[in-house]
Amino acid sequence: MTSKKVILVTGGSGLVGSAIKYIIETEPPNSRFGKHDDEEWIYARSSEGDLRRVIVIAFRHTGLGLTNTL
């Protein structure tokens, strides 16, 4: 069983975040730029809270750790 990759896009409702979301969702699945079966994409907006905290929680959840503490 493979684990899912979680990709967090901060600023998901902004210009760049919206463009990333559009490309990921319109390209064919499992293509170079399309969503892969083992990926979960999360688009976080600034209105959803302090994104610095979300990033710290995401790193702790994945076990990657942080080089700098926010």
pTM, to two decimals? 0.64
Residue 38, pLDDT above cutoff 50: yes
The residue-averaged pLDDT of 41-63 equals 67
pLDDT for the residue numbered 45: 81
| For range 40-55, the mean pLDDT | 74
Please give the DSSP secondary-structure letter assigned to residue 26. Answer: H
How many Å apart are CA 55 and CA 11, to the nearest integer? 12
Q: Hey, where are the domains in the chain? A: 5-62
Average pLDDT over residues 46-69: 58
Q: Which tops the pLDDT comparison, 40 or 10?
A: 40
CA–CA separation, 38 and 16 (whole Å): 23
